[in-house]
Chain A
Amino acid sequence: MAESTSAPGRDLPGRDAPALPTFAVRALAFARACFDGPVNGAITLGCLALLWWLVPPFWDWAVTRATWNGNANACREAGGACWAFIREKFWFSIFGLYPYEQRWRPATMMTILVIMVVASTQRRFWGRGLLVAWAVAAPAMLVLMGGGVFGLDPVQTRLWGGLTITGVIAVYGLALGYPLAILLALGRRSDLTLVRWFCTAVIECVRGVPLISLLFMAAIMLPLFLPEGVTLDRLARVLVAYTLFTAAYMAEVIRGGLQAMPRGQYEAADALGLSYWKKMRLVILPQALTITIPSQVNTFIGLFKDTTLVVVIGVFDFFTTLRAALGDPNWLGFATEAYVFAAGVYFLLCFAMSQYSQRLERSLRPGAR
């Protein structure tokens, strides 16, 4: 049916598209590929042996001998994984030290956060409306958590914890850091010497320090230098440090994208008489940001996992609440379960980010539009 276009001028008979191979055929081809020589055969057998060695004992521990209900003694008798421990501590790992009677507040806040984040990932919502929604939701969520108005009991930020605080730090830090990163990246390539120096200095200084020491400075050292009477909430200080760190790392990724743009794009925009900001907004940044999506997501995922470092200043993030749960005298000795659970949750969230970025990349590719 399809006309051959590859060799114009020659009149070849049309051909049907090849039939899709059946499952059996594909499986056979796969098996053949796995054993198509002594080396590949040996590697395949080695991998199978490794799986045989790893999977059954893990399955035995995690499923067959696992305990889903009951207390620590039931777990110790069964000898397998103690998922009852995770069940007992599940909501604690979500809400941390937040007052028990008030847990509906972080629950509502998390729901709003998830809805906002999911909405933001859908291209059809992109626009002014979404920005307005964020401008309303972002302070509203903080007020809901912090209270002190509308009859809500005030809750100190030091009590915010669990997956809630991980979400707050990651979303607010990344959302505030991203625009800052774009400005820093543009500034570093600016023609204005002072702006360029300033942006370079900020990026290099922040990037040259480990996040953990930046957090420590922000949380513990900063109050010592502040004038008397001037105070800033600890979580706010942590967020500022994390935002700066995010911005410095992202700025370099975005700068890579800016530099990858062919000169012709800049010149074409100039030729159209676009101002600097219009040129960046309409021509350069959309392309530069699109081509750097893989490294942006790479940095995002790294930064997301870095949120666990806030434990050094006593913030109980998701991972730390699980570690705190390990100290419960009634549930001593279930560290493996907690770490497996934490690894699973972090993997799910990071994997979702990675999958989303791949979808975004496909839909933003020039050819796909």
Chain B
Amino acid sequence: MKWSMLAAAAAAFVSLGASEALAGRDLDQIKQRNTLRCGVQGPSNPGFGVPDSQGRWSGFNVEVCRAIAITIFGDPNRVEFVPVTTQSRFPALSAGEVDVLSNNTTWTLTRDSNVNRFNQPAITFYDGQAIMVPRRLNVTSARQLNGATVCVQPGTTTELNLADFFRANNLRFTPVVIADLDELRRAYDSGRCDVFTNDFAALAAQRTLLTRPADHVILPERLSKEPLAVTIRQGDEELTNIVAWTTFALIDAEELGITQANVEQIATTSTNPVVRRLLGVEGNMGESLGAARPDYVRQIIRTFGNYGEMFERHLGTSTPLGLERGMNNIWTRGGLLYAPPAR
């Protein structure tokens, strides 16, 4: 009796998993499966990827994946979101459990090389380790922090970057190490340390949870470079192009002033050849890229808006995270976002 039960259960499972094949080029496989498998940070990452109360994923990284799905399929809903942890993300990508990682993975040489055989086609967010201090200390630069007590998570690159920064600037500091981020924030809030350090986006989220967020300021220095990039397996040029040029399209649209609200009007009235090419009104950019339809950019912008609109919706000053654009602004406005020409 037990065995028949086991066999039936096994049969049910095998039939469920029958569509998971591990063969062929990545893009072909994605198209054959008819869905893009997108690895997002689990359990959740405020602003970047969070399941809402109905179990639907939303956030900046989530929309990046949906935009890629528009390029491949012309349909933002052909995405399966697979939560991965910081430990499981790379094995999951190598093993084909996911096709792309959109989970705040920093672009580094060892990851984007023959060692790990990954590919990081485009940066979606520029992060970096930052320092927060109470406003009453009247500190304007991290170089004034000699002798400070610093709240930091142990065993992370954050801790190492902190030590490097203070040593390089001949400063002394006393670390207060607490593993749990919530507890670390409480320690800082109660005045156990003068300084709270973490990656900028995370630090900004933590600031909103302090008793008086306005009494704290994040200093301009960045202790590390954390360019967060969409990550895929190495060896599929077509998928690399699609990921890169989907990201560039979001950036280009913002630079050209194309928004969710005006994209249709611009597409029909604009005489600017750059705009017309980007939106697929003339030329064959979509076809060159292997997109599902020539006006894929138009569809992306109509669905999600440009980079700036996505940023403001999930991370910007009107959200609880309250991030300033900073480095994540268009190059013409003092940021680092610069897309190669779409022609």
The answer to whether A92 touches B16 (Cβ under 8 A) is no
The answer to whether B44 touches A89 (Cβ under 8 A) is no
Interchain CB contact (< 8 A) of A231 among B8, B17, B82: B17
**Closest approach, in angstroms, between the C-beta of A321 and any C-beta of chain B?**
7
Interchain CB contact (< 8 A) of A135 among B5, B23, B43, B94: B5
Which residues of the partner chain A approach B43 to less than 8 Å between Cβ atoms? 311, 316, 320-321, 323-324, 326-327
Number of A-B contacts (CB under 8 A): 167
Which residues of the partner chain A approach B44 to less than 8 Å between Cβ atoms? 323-328
The answer to whether B12 touches A220 (Cβ under 8 A) is no
**Closest approach, in angstroms, between the C-beta of A97 and any C-beta of chain B?**
4
Which residues of the partner chain B approach A138 to less than 8 Å between Cβ atoms? 5, 8-9
**Closest approach, in angstroms, between the C-beta of A235 and any C-beta of chain B?**
7
For the residues of A in contact with B, the DSSP-based class is helix
A187 at the interface (CB under 8 A from B): no
The answer to whether A176 touches B6 (Cβ under 8 A) is yes
**Within the assembled complex, what's the spacing in Å between the Cα atoms of A313 and B97?**
11
**Closest approach, in angstroms, between the C-beta of B157 and any C-beta of chain A?**
21
**Within the assembled complex, what's the spacing in Å between the Cα atoms of A96 and B57?**
11
**Closest approach, in angstroms, between the C-beta of A319 and any C-beta of chain B?**
9
Which residues of the partner chain B approach A332 to less than 8 Å between Cβ atoms? 46, 205, 208-209, 320
B76 at the interface (CB under 8 A from A): no
**Within the assembled complex, what's the spacing in Å between the Cα atoms of A325 and B42?**
11
**Within the assembled complex, what's the spacing in Å between the Cα atoms of A220 and B91?**
6
Residue of B nearest to A230 (CB): B22
**Within the assembled complex, what's the spacing in Å between the Cα atoms of A318 and B187?**
29
Which residues of the partner chain B approach A264 to less than 8 Å between Cβ atoms? none
Known contacts A312-B88, A329-B321, A332-B205; is A142 also within 8 Å of B12 by CB?
yes
A172 at the interface (CB under 8 A from B): yes
**Closest approach, in angstroms, between the C-beta of A17 and any C-beta of chain B?**
50
Interchain CB contact (< 8 A) of B1 among A132, A156, A219, A323: A132
B32 at the interface (CB under 8 A from A): no
The answer to whether A229 touches B209 (Cβ under 8 A) is no
B136 at the interface (CB under 8 A from A): no
B84 at the interface (CB under 8 A from A): yes
Q: Which of these binds chain A: B48-56, B114-122, B148-156, B253-261?
A: B48-56
Which residues of the partner chain A approach B208 to less than 8 Å between Cβ atoms? 332
Interchain CB contact (< 8 A) of A100 among B54, B84, B320: B54
Contact string, A327-340, partner B, CB cutoff 8 A, digits 1/0?
A: 11110110100000
**Closest approach, in angstroms, between the C-beta of B31 and any C-beta of chain A?**
18
Which residues of the partner chain B approach A60 to less than 8 Å between Cβ atoms? none
A99 at the interface (CB under 8 A from B): yes
A232 at the interface (CB under 8 A from B): yes
**Within the assembled complex, what's the spacing in Å between the Cα atoms of A87 and B45?**
21
How many chain A residues touch B (CB < 8 A): the figure is 63
B287 at the interface (CB under 8 A from A): no
Which residues of the partner chain B approach A176 to less than 8 Å between Cβ atoms? 2, 6
Between A135, A229, A233, A335, the greatest number of chain B beta carbons within 10 A of the residue's beta carbon is seen for A233
The answer to whether B22 touches A223 (Cβ under 8 A) is yes
The answer to whether A135 touches B50 (Cβ under 8 A) is no
Residue of A nearest to B80 (CB): A156
Known contacts A100-B54, A132-B1, A316-B43; is A216 also within 8 Å of B17 by CB?
no
Interchain CB contact (< 8 A) of B55 among A99, A132, A231: A99
**Within the assembled complex, what's the spacing in Å between the Cα atoms of A88 and B23?**
42
The answer to whether A314 touches B42 (Cβ under 8 A) is yes
B14 at the interface (CB under 8 A from A): yes
Which residues of the partner chain A approach B95 to less than 8 Å between Cβ atoms? 220-221, 223-224
B96 at the interface (CB under 8 A from A): yes
**Within the assembled complex, what's the spacing in Å between the Cα atoms of A239 and B16?**
14
Interchain CB contact (< 8 A) of A148 among B9, B15, B45: B15
Q: In the complex, which residues 226-246 of chain B have their Cβ closer than 8 Å to any Cβ of chain A?
A: none
The answer to whether A158 touches B9 (Cβ under 8 A) is no
Q: In the complex, which residues 346-361 of chain A have their Cβ closer than 8 Å to any Cβ of chain B?
A: none
Residue of A nearest to B7 (CB): A139
Which residues of the partner chain B approach A131 to less than 8 Å between Cβ atoms? 1-2
Known contacts A158-B80, A328-B50; is A148 also within 8 Å of B16 by CB?
yes
Known contacts A92-B53, A158-B80, A324-B42; is A234 also within 8 Å of B97 by CB?
yes
Residue of B nearest to A232 (CB): B17
Q: In the complex, which residues 158-190 of chain A have their Cβ closer than 8 Å to any Cβ of chain B?
A: 158-159, 161, 172, 176, 179
The answer to whether B88 touches A220 (Cβ under 8 A) is yes
A292 at the interface (CB under 8 A from B): no
Contact string, B5-41, partner A, CB cutoff 8 A, digits 1/0?
A: 1101111111111101111000000000000000000
A98 at the interface (CB under 8 A from B): yes
Which residues of the partner chain B approach A154 to less than 8 Å between Cβ atoms? 16
Residue of A nearest to B20 (CB): A231
A236 at the interface (CB under 8 A from B): yes
Which residues of the partner chain B approach A126 to less than 8 Å between Cβ atoms? none
The answer to whether A100 touches B56 (Cβ under 8 A) is yes
The answer to whether B1 touches A139 (Cβ under 8 A) is no
The answer to whether A329 touches B46 (Cβ under 8 A) is yes
Known contacts A313-B88, A314-B42, A329-B320; is A231 also within 8 Å of B54 by CB?
no
**Closest approach, in angstroms, between the C-beta of B83 and any C-beta of chain A?**
4
The answer to whether A96 touches B55 (Cβ under 8 A) is yes
Interchain CB contact (< 8 A) of B46 among A220, A314, A328: A328
The answer to whether B88 touches A314 (Cβ under 8 A) is yes
Known contacts A311-B42, A327-B46; is A236 also within 8 Å of B10 by CB?
yes
11 new A-B contacts, CB < 8 A, other than A97-B81, A232-B13, A233-B13, are A92-B55, A100-B54, A135-B1, A135-B4, A139-B8, A142-B12, A143-B12, A148-B16, A312-B88, A316-B51, A328-B46
A-B contact pairs, 18 of them (CB 8 A): A134-B5, A158-B82, A223-B22, A223-B95, A229-B22, A233-B16, A236-B14, A311-B43, A312-B85, A314-B92, A321-B43, A325-B44, A327-B44, A328-B46, A328-B50, A329-B50, A330-B320, A332-B205
Q: Which residues of A contact B (CB under 8 A)?
A: 88-89, 91-92, 95-100, 131-132, 134-135, 138-139, 142-143, 146, 148, 154, 156-159, 161, 172, 176, 179, 216, 219-221, 223-224, 226, 228-229, 231-236, 239, 311-314, 316, 320-321, 323-330, 332-333, 335
Q: Which residues of B contact A (CB under 8 A)?
A: 1-2, 4-6, 8-18, 20-23, 42-47, 50-57, 80-85, 87-88, 91-92, 94-97, 182, 205, 208-209, 314, 319-321
